[in-house]
Amino acid sequence: MERIQRADALKDGHAAVTPPPQPLTPPAAASTLPPVSEAPPTTSPLPRIGLLTAARAQHPVLDVSLPCDPPLADHPQPAVQHFAARYAPSFFLDVGTACPLHCVYCSVVRGADDKDVRMEAREHLYMRMADAESVGVRKLTFIGGEPASRTDFLHLADVAHAMGFQDLILATKSVKLARPAFVAQLREHHVSMVHLSLDSFDPDVLAVLLASRTAPKLLLAGLHELLAQQVELFLFAVLTQHNLAGLDDYVRRLADLQQRYGRPMTAVVSPLKVQSRADKNRETLVPRMADLAHAVARAVDLAQTLNVTLIHKAVPPCLLPQHGDWALERYLTEARIDLENGQRLPSAANPYLAKSAACASCAATAVCPGVDAAYADWQGWAEFSPLT
């Protein structure tokens, strides 16, 4: 394939200077999102799973996240091991692509006009829960879109709990978290952990990334509400041209929160996926990977001095050779479970990641996630050199 052989975009072998961020192209105003087909039922939350198993042939494999045992890090970090153990083994329940926010970097595919919104039927979600439960997976992560925007989200959490899932994780950026009553409902309906997408503590930066002047204040208030109500959480930040320079300050704010609330703070940082809206805005949004890796290395070092946990994800190890012990891929791995016999299968090839021909000789190729394929097509391979 051309994308795994081409290295001509940066012919002099040096990273280009990143231009200062320019105004981004906001997504077109979305049409009214389709509602959930029916209101949450008021009867017992546990559906008749036996009626759903006949549909399993449509989904004979379950994608799961598993802990690496033992970790692939040279010097495993207890804080990252703890995070991996809390998060996995788990599976991701995709509830659909509907979301009330219009983040300029969103990589969720919603069709060419960004309005092709998908809402998964409740019966389909029941079936996927039953699939996971049948092979012994006891942790479930709700993903989207925005799972909390579904009117039946709390009902789905009740169903998952009734099926025997021990940990329910909500991946969210919902402004509803600013409401104390909603956070209390999460606890009442068995949500045990929140994976909060928060890319900056600076409201002005968030306003650009979220394409909203009101959402940043609510999202930051939601963070404090989660901490005040002692909901277990970790933060996830996508790194862009707009928040990369503030990554050290992000770490300091984590340390401040840790001291204020008396509980450990963990954050995972990751490059953008260059697709959908992120692809549309890539010239003013996507930083050079070499610049990103430099900022991540500095922030990981700072986090260690401040006793907070900063984990990086999807950064090729050739760009962070001294910080592999903090790479999530060395503690968690993706796999598939055959639903017929419960056997573990290799993970499916990720069509959004690529490796160059030279990557085969890299000493870290076994633990390297690869490079975002669209980024490599756009910027070439000159930034990436095999480790020996």
Q: Where are the domains of the chain?
A: 45-350
**Cα–Cα distance for residue pair 319/289, rounded to 1 Å:** 8
User: What angle do the packed helices 122-134 and 153-163 form, to 10 degrees?
Assistant: 30
**Token reading at 131:** 């699939």
pLDDT of residue 58: 55
242-290 pLDDT, tens digit each: 999 999 999 999 999 999 999 999 999 999 999 888 999 999 999 999 9
pLDDT confidence of 59, banded at 50, 70, 90? low
Instruction: Write the DSSP string, 102-163.
Output: --TT------TTS----B--HHHHHHHHHHHHHTT--EEEEESS-GGGSTTHHHHHHHHHHH
Dihedral angle computed from the Cα positions of residues 213, 248, 197 and 232, in that order, rounded to the nearest 10 degrees? -120
Task: Name the pTM for this structure.
Answer: 0.85
Of the two residues 321 and 31, the one the predictor is more confident about is 321
Task: Determine the Cα–Cα distance for residues 215 and 207; give it in Å rounded to an integer.
Answer: 7
What's the CA gap between 182 and 279, in Å, rounded?
34
Q: Which of 3-7, 285-289, 338-342 has the highest mean pLDDT?
A: 285-289
- State whether CATH 3.20.20.70 applies to domain 45-350: yes
- pLDDT for residue 204 is more than 80: yes
- Pairwise CA distance, residues 129 & 125, whole Å: 6
| Selection from 109-113, 256-260, 336-340 with the highest mean pLDDT | 256-260
Distance CA 108, CA 96 (A): 10
Per-residue pLDDT tens for 207-245? 999 999 999 999 999 999 999 999 999 999 999 999 999
pLDDT at 170: 98
